[in-house]
Amino acid sequence: MASDCIFCKIIKGEVPSKKVYEDELTYAFHDINPVAPVHILIVPKKHILGIQEMESEDRELVGHMFYVAKEIADSLNLNPDESLKGGYRLVFNVGRDAGQSVFHLHLHLIGGRSMSWPPG
Ligand code: 5GP
Ligand code: ZN
């Protein structure tokens, strides 16, 4: 835990958040500034600065974050149907130039509208 980290404070309940899911390894909550009808952040309870700072021992944890994202997407009926319509986007921004603004690892789950590619 880092005392000056906003996401550590959210995990500890020191800063309020709209919780979506929690287990022993992860905490998920609605983004305060959503870019789509559904915008959820999945964060590890362990304070890791970002994907760039991920270590070998974190591989299972990051895999678990993807599984949690998929389960949340399922529960919100975001998963693509048989014709692959619908769906959602999972994003890690890595570094400031890629759009990372909070330096506690987080996976964006974005959905509820169609999206363009490439991203800006
Ligand atoms: P990044 O830009 O680092 O990839 O994503 C950080 C995300 O955290 C942004 O989408 C931003 O809106 C969100 N965020 C920043 N501070 C807070 C906060 O205090 N509460 C919540 N719920 N989201 C936050
Ligand atoms: Zn943190």
Helix, strand, or coil here: 73? helix
Q: Which helix (H) or strand (E) holds 20?
A: strand 19-22
Number of domains in the chain: 1
Which residues are identified as catalytic? 106
Among 21, 1, 20, smallest CA distance to 12 is for 1
The answer to whether residue 118 sits within a structural domain is no
In this predicted model, what pLDDT tens digit does every residue of 50-60 receive, in sequence order? 999 999 999 99
Testing ligand 1's pocket by substitution, the residue of 8, 102, 108, 109 carrying the most ligand atoms inside 8 A of its CB is 102
Angle of CA points 112, 118, 120, to nearest 5°: 85
The answer to whether residue 90 sits within a structural domain is yes
The answer to whether residue 117 sits within a structural domain is no
pTM: 0.97
The answer to whether residue 119 sits within a structural domain is no
Strands 107-111 and 88-91: antiparallel
Q: Which atom of ligand 1 is nearest to the CA of 6?
A: 19
Ligand 1 residue neighbourhood (C-beta within 6 Å): 6, 15, 17, 29-33, 41, 93, 99-102
Range of the domain at 80: 6-111
In this predicted model, what pLDDT tens digit does every residue of 58-103 receive, in sequence order? 999 999 999 999 999 999 999 999 998 999 999 999 999 999 999 9
The answer to whether residue 116 sits within a structural domain is no
Q: Which helix (H) or strand (E) holds 56?
A: none
Q: What is the CATH number of the domain that holds 34?
A: 3.30.428.10
